[in-house]
Structure 1
Amino acid sequence: MPAPRPNQLYVIISLALVLFLLGLVGLWTFQANYLTKQLQESLDIIVELNDDHTEIQRMELIADITAARFNKPGSQPEYVSKQAALEEMGDDLQRDLNDLGLNNPLLDVVTFNVPVAYLQSDSLAAIATEIQTQPGVAAVFYQENFVDRIAENARRMGYILLGLAGLFALVAALLIHNTVRLSLYANRFTIKTQELVGASWGFISKPYLWRAVGQGIVSGLIAIGGVAGLQYWLQSVLPELNLFAEPLPLVCLYGGILLLGLLINFVSHYVVVRRYLRLRLDDLY
């Protein structure tokens, strides 16, 4: 049984720091996706009403949109009268219109939002066509280019974050492998001696691999604690980020950190122990 080594704490802390960085990348990825989704779903679909539309037509339109499959769940279409819209534009515009003797050029509108699944050019066009058939509707508008830009930027950000995660994972594997190799260097003779007296490779590797599992779990828990602590701090400073709005991705992130720490440390210990077992006795010096 190998004797305890003084640098085991270094292995745990090194792995925990790398896992913490990977956790930050994962947190950034989930948060970017969440904010992108919120931004996309905040896109207003604007339905302009005819000047001569009736209140019954307007109420039926709002009821139809509320019950429609393309309405964002939990949201209610909003009616904005042309007078309220003019007041929002400021007193200067109203004064200018009065000076010129012009009537309010705006129209009554109904605005609503759609889920992300419908934020495609063809889907929005189909929604606009369907709504325009309603009585009292003059036109339907939405920022098509804005939707396309959001989707494209979201894809690009996803590729960048995926590349960063892959790079961090590679660096983590190399760093932890070298750390484990140095950690087991003092026990190279013990490992080889056990083999020479007839111990099987599995018997020799077992205590090191169990230690690797324990170190990986401890490192993962430390990294999870660091990421969660940072989340709570950011949430207290910037509550509008809603960092805990979607718990399932966070559970997956924490579980991934723990699993990755265990896997990296286990594989590194396995490779290093087998390497020392394959070496000749003269090569250990």
Structure 2
Amino acid sequence: MESIGFNVILKENVKEADIYQLQKILDSREFILSTEYITKEEAALETEQMLGEDFIRFLGYNPLPPSIRVRLHQRWANPDSVMIIEQDLMQYDSIEEVYYKKSLLYTVNENIRQITLIILGFSILLTLISVTLINNTIRLSIYSKRFIINTMQLVGATRSFIRKPFLFTSAAMGFTGSLVALAILFGLIYLLQEEFEGVISFKDYDMMSILALGVILTGIVLN
């Protein structure tokens, strides 16, 4: 979700040198991913392209102020953090307003939360399906070798000796099943990112690593 951000609306009388200085300050802040200075002329051109007509000719002047377009890092792209950032930035005299669509930000965050829960539920479902299938396979394998197992018991083989090959096979199949589940899960995540490009970005690699490790360990242990 690293495309979420806001526009820093600047006062009309701010000098361009001061704007560049402010932009450097913003770029140094930990919560900011990137900034882009939008001049009055560039803002007018964007608005003209959006409206499809020359509004300046109609008004007789350009009412749009210069601004700095800000993009936030993922962990700061939520309503509470943006409100704190807004209060912090409003301390600068050259800033007129910090503009962002509050309702859109809340909606996007709620959708992200729901998508995350769906992905988590889907990963659990895939893991359970893999575990169930592998368990059934192991049970069938044991049943098919019941006569061999009985023979081994008759010649004095211990339970641990008999169980060891099945445990290794079960762990290997659990690991393989977990990899298949992860491949499907990460494929789903990739499709979501492609479908909602610029809105959703799963770049919390620590969380993804923990999820992958959890799925693999669950697949191995439960089998």
Provide the TM-score with structure 2 as the length reference.
0.74
2:14 to 53, 56, 63: 53
**How far, CA to CA, are the matches of 1:145 and 1:65 in structure 2?**
24
Provide structure 2 residue ranges, at least 5 long, that are not aligned to the other structure. Answer: none
2:84 to 104, 126, 129: 126
SS at match of 1:110: strand
**How far, CA to CA, are the matches of 1:154 and 1:79 in structure 2?**
29
Give 1:58's aligned amino acid.
I
Deviation larger for 188-197 or 254-263:
254-263
- Residues 1:43 and 2:4 are matched in the alignment: yes
SS at match of 1:90: helix
Q: Percent identity?
A: 27
Give 2:65's aligned amino acid.
L
* Counterpart for residue 12 of structure 1: none
Equivalenced residue count is: 212
1:148 to 84, 106, 118: 106
**Could you tell me how far 1:90 is from its partner in structure 2?**
3.1
Is the contact made by 2:130 and 2:219 (CA closer than 8 Å) also made in structure 1?
A: no
* Counterpart for residue 93 of structure 1: 53
* Counterpart for residue 161 of structure 2: 203
Give 1:56's aligned amino acid.
A
More helix by share: 1
**How far, CA to CA, are the matches of 2:165 and 2:59 in structure 1?**
91
**How far, CA to CA, are the matches of 1:221 and 1:156 in structure 2?**
24
Per-residue CA deviation, residues 18-72 of structure 1 (Å, 9 max, x unaligned), is xxxxxxxxxxxxxxxxxxx3xxx21232111222222232122212212223322
Per-residue CA deviation, residues 129-185 of structure 1 (Å, 9 max, x unaligned), is 232232332211112222222221122122222222222222222222222222222
SS at match of 2:7: strand
Is the contact made by 1:71 and 1:114 (CA closer than 8 Å) also made in structure 2?
A: yes
- Residues 1:70 and 2:31 are matched in the alignment: yes
More strand by share: 2
Per-residue CA deviation, residues 55-93 of structure 1 (Å, 9 max, x unaligned), is 232122212212223322xx3x21111112212233753
Per-residue CA deviation, residues 222-251 of structure 1 (Å, 9 max, x unaligned), is 849x949x97xx89xx7x89x9x8877776
> What aligned pairs does 1:108-257 form with structure 2 within 5 A after superposition?
108-215=66-173, 219=176, 223=180, 227=183
Structure showing greater radius of gyration is: 1
Is the contact made by 1:78 and 1:112 (CA closer than 8 Å) also made in structure 2?
A: yes
**How far, CA to CA, are the matches of 1:222 and 1:120 in structure 2?**
32
Give 1:93's aligned amino acid.
E
Is the contact made by 2:76 and 2:82 (CA closer than 8 Å) also made in structure 1?
A: yes
- Residues 1:83 and 2:41 are matched in the alignment: yes
Provide structure 1 residue ranges, at least 5 long, that are not aligned to the other structure. Answer: 1-36, 268-285
Is the contact made by 2:138 and 2:166 (CA closer than 8 Å) also made in structure 1?
A: no
CA RMSD of aligned residues (A): 3.7
SS at match of 1:46: strand
**How far, CA to CA, are the matches of 2:179 and 2:79 in structure 1?**
45
